[in-house]
């Protein structure tokens, strides 16, 4: 177990006569600081000074706060500076140019933290004690207050609600069918509740129970049964606006029908039935896939050219005579518009310069033309042979992906261990949703992909890709995540297609803006679900819209990038207040201590700092959870004896902390956001003797006291 000690720096920080805080950013030519976080408080000043590489040069500094900022008139260059005041919270960029050059000489970001008020009193960000509630488990709206009282009794000061909007057919808490409608399950027989009722409750929670409230926003997917998507299919990645997904859809139908054939007994003679539960079953399935099912797809054909068609087209160029410009380059094929079989093409102008040339081995013009055509034909055959190899690589990826999926879903001890194949839980997850019935064969369904009326209604599901770059979009070409089956697919939700700007999909941008602003109006903060899968330019736009409604909105994010630099890019561009960090990520006590030391405060022994000092880059601020709603129960993963020690260590960390409903009541399993249907207990129903609520109340009170008294240094 790790021990934590904090040290009180100075009470002068709260002195009303203290000078305004100023942080100095030194500008140097070529500095690209976009991946560093510089954190500021509202009311602080940011002072820019020239570094050694800029002395004697004309420097113009621009910020997204106030545009171009002027330099003061100092006695010399060392005394001059440009300064702005941080009056708004959020993320602001700066850049500078030198000697009127057109290119940017350096850039970075300024992260200004919001100020939270709880009943008109400031709540320090490091004093936040947050608890997650799965909204659908709060039951009918008339009982919410009684079920939320436990948060106040345990001395939390913030509640995180999962989406309160109408959910989809799977009833997953993060699969929203209509972002503008409240979940109808909150209604009672006698009353239909509205967002106005919710707003009143949120205000009462703050006034009567000293609880702020934040809610998830889900921007990157919608429920597969969302009616608005049927009316506006352009809001999804469908087979009309994303034709590169057509081969993946055809593969998806092939795998679906193979699973249905197993379920219906077609492979009984191979010892396969609807119950798949052993390694032997998996080996048999993979053998059939490799040797019988996947070869039917002929996936290489989607990457091959129609040789005769290309040669016929090229013949027109050859008949006009040899190209005056000759190039000795490699001619590559590229996708056609429709992604049909043998639909790849080559650039004919490029081909003309490479293959349509004078030939010393030709006896006359006719012979020259024939030799040029044959050389072109031979090259196309070479390209098609390359496509065969591409197809073989794709087959291997598909097999590995299917093996991993089936093993996890039905065999691995750590998985859900689904036994029987069903229409809902088939052999593999369906990557695409189609609103019309399945046909008897995948070959018959292939035509759906190439009919614009049906193709527009076939939409790609969302999910996540292991070790993927969060700044790239796996649904865009040239990514072949869907064809390779690399997507860990959520079959109950559809990936949303924003494009690059609001004009690309006006309905979707407008809908999500209204949804976001409504959430910002009701709640004190937002939690960005799957921030790493949300296009960053979309999140920027929507957070800007949220700050129009609530300038000091508290923004936290679920962000998994596996890179601190990538984390910082998201924090800087979106103005994220805190990133969610999880204590359960630590496999041993030493690592737990390291995480607390990293996220939980300053180094022990630091001196009281002057009011004017250099700006120091820092790690992204943390909201540190002992357990999130995505984690297994701490009792399940560790021990019941671990619950209080972990909560105690986090309570002494100099950052916001959080937990999930069920942790303090010692629920020994994960309360699932999809399958759980039982409601939370009310305060009157809780047996305090079987909970750690009194201990939690003491620890939360301690955490707030330490933050308010400026205990910022930590030693593990």
pLDDT digits (tens, 9 = 90+) for 615-653: 888 888 899 999 999 998 989 888 999 999 999 999 999
Name the residue ranges covered by the structural domains of the chain. 16-113, 123-223+500-602+619-676
- Residue pLDDT, tens place only, 306-348: 999 999 999 999 999 888 888 999 999 999 999 999 999 999 9
Q: Which fold has domain 123-223+500-602+619-676?
A: TIM Barrel (3.20.20)
Written as six digits, the tokens of 643 are: 């619950």
- Cα–Cα distance between 297 and 182 in angstroms, integer? 44
Instruction: Report the half-sphere exposure of 600 (CA within 13 A, side-chain side).
Output: 29
Catalytic residue among 529, 567, 642, 664: 529
Q: How far is CA 618 from CA 1, 36, 233, 391, 602, in A?
A: 27, 7, 43, 47, 10
Catalytic residue among 133, 244, 532, 629: 532
Q: Clarify whether 529 is annotated catalytic.
A: yes
712 close to 602: Cβ distance less than 8 angstroms: yes
Buried b (16+ CB within 10 A) or exposed e, 553-568: bbbbbbbebeeeebbb
The stretches of 434-563 forming alpha helices (DSSP H) are 442-445, 452-455, 481-484, 506-522, 536-549
pTM of the prediction? 0.93
Catalytic residue among 95, 232, 630, 709: 630
Confidence of residue 18 (pLDDT cuts 50, 70, 90): low
Residues 6+ apart with CB under 8 A from 590: 2
**pLDDT at residue 5, rounded to an integer:** 41
Phi/psi at 2 (5° precision): -95, 145
C-beta neighbour count of 340 within 10 angstroms:
17
392-395 contacts at long range (C-beta below 8 A, 24 or more positions apart):
392/300, 394/299, 394/480, 394/483, 394/484, 395/290, 395/294, 395/299
Confidence of residue 606 (pLDDT cuts 50, 70, 90): low
- Residue pLDDT, tens place only, 131-176: 999 999 999 999 999 999 999 999 999 999 999 999 999 999 999 9
- Cα–Cα distance between 625 and 647 in angstroms, integer? 9
- Cα–Cα distance between 305 and 379 in angstroms, integer? 11
Q: How far is CA 613 from CA 609, 616, 649, in A?
A: 8, 9, 31
- Cα–Cα distance between 583 and 593 in angstroms, integer? 10
Q: Please tell me the CATH superfamily of domain 16-113, with its number.
A: Cupredoxins -  blue copper proteins (2.60.40.420)
**pLDDT at residue 1, rounded to an integer:** 35
**Which of 689, 623, 694 is CA-nearest to residue 660?**
623
Q: How far is CA 160 from CA 117, 211, 216, in A?
A: 16, 10, 8
Q: Clarify whether 532 is annotated catalytic.
A: yes
- Cα–Cα distance between 54 and 582 in angstroms, integer? 43
Q: In angstroms, how far is the first alpha carbon of the chain from the final one?
A: 10
- Residue pLDDT, tens place only, 546-586: 999 999 999 999 888 878 899 999 999 999 999 999 988 88
Confidence of residue 10 (pLDDT cuts 50, 70, 90): very low
Residue at token pair 């699973």 = 259
- Cα–Cα distance between 708 and 11 in angstroms, integer? 10
């Amino acid at each position: 177990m790790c021990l934590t000690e904090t040290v009180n720096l100075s009470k002068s920080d709260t002195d009303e006569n203290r000078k305004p805080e100023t942080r100095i950013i030194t500008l140097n030519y070529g500095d690209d600081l976009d991946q560093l976080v510089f954190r500021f408080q509202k009311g602080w000043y940011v002072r820019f000074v020239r570094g050694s590489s800029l002395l004697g040069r004309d420097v113009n500094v621009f910020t997204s706060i106030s545009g171009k900022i002027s330099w003061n008139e100092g006695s010399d260059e060392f005394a001059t500076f440009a300064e702005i005041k941080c009056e708004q919270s959020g993320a602001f960029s700066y850049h500078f140019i030198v000697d009127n050059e057109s290119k940017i000489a350096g850039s970075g970001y300024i992260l200004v933290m919001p100020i939270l008020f709880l009943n008109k009193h400031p709540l320090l960000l490091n004093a936040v004690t947050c608890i997650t509630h799965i909204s659908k488990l709060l039951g009918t709206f008339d009982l919410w207050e009684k079920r939320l009282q436990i948060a106040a009794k345990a001395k939390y000061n913030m509640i995180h609600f999962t989406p309160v909007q109408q959910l989809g057919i799977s009833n997953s808490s993060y699969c929203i069918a209509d972002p503008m409608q409240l979940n109808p399950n909150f209604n009672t027989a006698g009353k239909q509740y509205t967002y106005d009722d919710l707003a009143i409750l949120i205000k009462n929670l703050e006034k009567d129970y000293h609880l702020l409230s934040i809610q998830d926003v889900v921007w990157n997917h919608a429920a597969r049964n969302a009616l608005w998507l049927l009316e506006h299919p352009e809001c999804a990645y469908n087979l009309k606006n994303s034709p590169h997904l057509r081969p993946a859809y055809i593969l998806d139908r092939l795998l679906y029908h193979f699973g249905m054939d197993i379920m219906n007994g077609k492979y009984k003679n191979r010892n396969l039935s609807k119950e798949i539960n052993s390694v032997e079953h998996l080996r048999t399935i993979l053998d059939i896939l490799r040797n019988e099912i996947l070869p039917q797809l002929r996936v290489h054909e989607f990457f091959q050219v129609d040789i005769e068609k290309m040669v016929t087209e090229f013949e027109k160029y050859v008949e006009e005579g040899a190209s005056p410009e000759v190039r000795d380059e490699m001619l590559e094929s590229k996708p056609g518009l429709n992604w049909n079989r043998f639909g790849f093409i080559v650039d004919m102008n490029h081909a003309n310069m490479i293959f349509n040339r004078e030939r010393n081995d030709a006896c006359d013009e006719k012979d020259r033309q024939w030799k040029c055509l044959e050389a072109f034909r031979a090259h196309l055959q070479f390209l098609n042979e390359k496509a065969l190899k591409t197809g073989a690589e794709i087959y291997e990826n598909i097999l590995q992906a299917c093996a991993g999926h089936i093993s996890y879903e039905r065999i691995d001890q750590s998985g859900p261990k689904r036994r029987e194949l069903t229409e809902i839980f088939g052999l593999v997850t369906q990557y695409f949703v189609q609103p019309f019935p399945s046909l008897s064969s995948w070959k018959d369904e292939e035509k759906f992909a190439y009919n614009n009326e049906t193709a527009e209604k076939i939409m790609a599901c969302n999910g996540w890709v292991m070790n993927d770059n969060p700044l790239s979009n796996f649904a865009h070409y040239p990514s072949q995540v869907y064809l390779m089956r690399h997507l860990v697919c959520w079959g109950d939700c559809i990936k949303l297609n924003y494009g690059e700007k609001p004009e690309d999909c006006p309905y979707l941008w407008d809908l999500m803006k209204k949804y976001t602003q409504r959430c910002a109006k009701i709640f004190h903060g937002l939690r960005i679900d799957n921030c790493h899968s949300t296009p960053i330019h979309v999140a920027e736009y929507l957070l800007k819209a949220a700050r129009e409604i609530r300038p000091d909105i508290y923004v936290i994010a679920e962000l998994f990038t596996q890179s601190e630099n990538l984390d910082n890019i998201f924090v800087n561009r979106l103005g994220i207040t805190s990133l969610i960090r999880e204590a359960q990520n630590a496999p041993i006590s030493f690592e737990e201590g390291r995480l607390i030391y990293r996220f939980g405060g300053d180094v022990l022994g630091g001196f009281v700092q002057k009011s004017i000092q250099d700006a120091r880059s820092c790690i992204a601020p943390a909201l540190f959870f002992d357990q999130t709603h995505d984690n297994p129960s701490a009792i399940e993963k560790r021990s019941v004896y671990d619950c209080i020690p972990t909560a105690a260590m986090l309570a002494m960390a100099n950052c916001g902390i959080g937990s999930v409903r069920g942790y303090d009541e010692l629920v020994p399993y994960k309360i699932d956001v999809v399958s759980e249907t039982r409601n939370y207990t009310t305060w009157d129903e809780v047996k305090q003797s079987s909970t750690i609520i009194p201990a939690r109340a003491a620890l939360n009170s301690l955490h707030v006291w330490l933050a308010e008294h400026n205990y910022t240094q930590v030693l593990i």
